[in-house]
Amino acid sequence: MTIFYIVLLFIAAYFMGAPLGYYLVKLKTGKDIRFDFRDVGGSSSSGATNVKRAMGNRWAFFVAFCDYLKGATPTAIAVALWGTYWVVGLIGLTSLLGNLFPVLVSKPRFKGGKGVATTGGALTPMVAISLINYHPLWLILLFFIILLLWGIFVWILRRENHKWMVLASSFLVSAMILFFGIMEAHTYPVFTFSVYLMGIIVLCAHYENWVKLKNYFTTRQKSPGI
């Protein structure tokens, strides 16, 4: 019976990870957010940043929050049922894959968001159970300081489009590696491997942003007056 519930949670995690921004913009405007907003600086993503360009800040915050919950909910259920069992990390990874490679979208299929909010949501229950059960108070405080700095960082660079997204994603991945790669590798290798893989996938999903960032700094160096 346990195997049945594990498989059911994997399926639910994948479909919960589906890109809400794509469906919302399609319903409200009839357009494909992945391709129809590039003339206003959009990328080929269905995430909250593109939703902001298509429908404004209110809907962007709504999508970001829902994307966060899509990662947090199945992972929190897995944590509640199995603690730090290996399946928890794989459930989080499945939520991320559902966001990046959704099947229930128009062609081209398997092209969704970039997974930052979903990864953050999936990571939260894992970090919480790890810090509360196995690590001292000062480490918990350090983690929340890192999250606070990340939030400030994003807020300061919120108008920089692709640039803040790349840097914020890098910071998030660095925190993941710090708190799981170092402290959990010796006890939960599959758990840790899943988190490492999530971080690598998120960075790869932002390849387009990395290219834009590189071109931005190249232009700045060639034109100091800009």
CA 50 to CA 48: how far, in whole Å?
5
State residue 225's pLDDT score. 44
* Residues 163 and 216 sit within 8 Å (Cβ to Cβ): yes
Asked whether 166 and 206 are in contact (CB, 8 A), the reply is yes
- Provide the whole-model pTM: 0.77
Structure tokens at 78: 């897995």
Per-residue pLDDT of the chain (226 residues), as tens digits, is 478 888 899 999 999 888 888 888 888 887 877 776 665 455 667 777 778 777 878 888 898 899 899 999 999 998 888 776 678 888 988 999 998 888 888 777 777 787 888 888 888 887 777 767 666 677 667 767 777 777 776 676 656 555 555 566 666 666 666 666 566 655 667 777 777 788 788 878 777 777 777 776 677 655 554 4
In contact, 123 and 195? CB cutoff 8 Å: yes
What confidence score (pLDDT) does residue 94 get?
92
